[in-house]
Structure 1
Amino acid sequence: MCAPGVVRSAHENAARPSRRGLLGALGAAAVATTVASAAPRARAAAPQRVIDLTHTIAPGMPVWPGNPPPTLLPVALHAAGGFAQHALAMWEHTGTHLDAPVHRVPGGLSTEAIAAPDLLAPLVVIDISAKAVVDPDATLTRADIDDWQTRYGAIPPRAFVAMYSGWERRFADAAAFVNLDGDDVPHAPGIDPEAARYLVSDCDVVGVGVDTLSLDAATSPDYDAHTAILGAGRYGVEMLADLGAAPASGATVVVGAPKHAGGTGGPCRVLALV
Structure 2
Amino acid sequence: MSFTSRNEAAAALDPNPFWTLHEILKAGRWIDLSHTADESSPLWSGFTKMSRSCLFNLDQHGFQAHVFTHVGQWGTHVDPPSHFHGDLRTLDQLEVREQLLPLVVIDIHAKVEHDADYTVSMDDIREWELRNNAIPRGAFVALRTDWSKRWPDHASMQNLDAEGVSHTPGWSKEVIDYLFDVCGATACGHETLDTDPGSATSRSDFSLEGLVLSKNRYQIELLANLCELPEAGALVVVAFPKVADATGFPARAFAIAPA
Fold shared per TM-score above 0.5: yes
State whether structure 2 residue 57 is matched by structure 1 residue 77: yes
Runs of 4+ in 1 over 6 A off after TM superposition: none
The number of residue pairs the alignment matches comes to: 239
Partner of 2:25: 46
The one of 39, 46, 64 equivalent to 1:59 is 39
TM-score after normalising by structure 1: 0.83
Alpha-carbon offset, residue 227 of structure 1: 2.4
Q: Distance in 1 between matches of 2:14 and 2:125?
A: 44
The one of 222, 232, 240 equivalent to 1:257 is 240
State whether structure 2 residue 112 is matched by structure 1 residue 132: yes
Q: Deviations over 1:81-129 (max 9, x none)?
A: 1011211111000110001001111211000001110111000011111
Partner of 1:273: 256
Partner of 2:162: 182
Partner of 2:124: 144
State whether structure 2 residue 103 is matched by structure 1 residue 123: yes
Q: Which runs of 5+ in 1 are unaligned?
A: 1-35
Q: Distance in 2 between matches of 1:40 and 1:267?
A: 34
Cα gap change, 1:261 to 1:40, in 2 (>3 Å):
closer
Partner of 2:4: none
Q: Deviations over 1:205-241 (max 9, x none)?
A: 0000000011111222532321221111110100001
Alpha-carbon offset, residue 143 of structure 1: 1.4
Q: Distance in 2 between matches of 1:62 and 1:254?
A: 23
Tell me, yes or no, if the aligned pair for 1:258 and 1:265 is still in contact at 8 Å: no
Residue type of the partner of 2:175?
A: A
Comparing 183-192 with 196-205, greater Cα deviation is found at 183-192
Cα gap change, 1:78 to 1:127, in 2 (>3 Å):
same
Alpha-carbon offset, residue 142 of structure 1: 1.5
Q: Distance in 2 between matches of 1:248 and 1:38?
A: 32
Alpha-carbon offset, residue 137 of structure 1: 1.3
Counterpart of 1:273 in 2: which secondary structure? strand
State whether structure 2 residue 202 is matched by structure 1 residue 219: no
Q: Distance in 2 between matches of 1:161 and 1:194?
A: 14
Comparing 175-184 with 259-268, greater Cα deviation is found at 175-184
CA RMSD in angstroms comes to: 1.7
Larger Rg: 1
Partner of 2:189: 209
The percentage of aligned residue pairs carrying the same residue is: 35
Q: Distance in 2 between matches of 1:138 and 1:109?
A: 31
Residue type of the partner of 2:235?
A: T
The one of 216, 219, 233 equivalent to 1:233 is 216
Counterpart of 1:219 in 2: which secondary structure? helix
Tell me, yes or no, if the aligned pair for 1:191 and 1:217 is still in contact at 8 Å: yes
Cα gap change, 1:217 to 1:258, in 2 (>3 Å):
farther
TM-score after normalising by structure 2: 0.87
Q: Which runs of 5+ in 2 are unaligned?
A: 1-11
Residue type of the partner of 2:25?
A: A
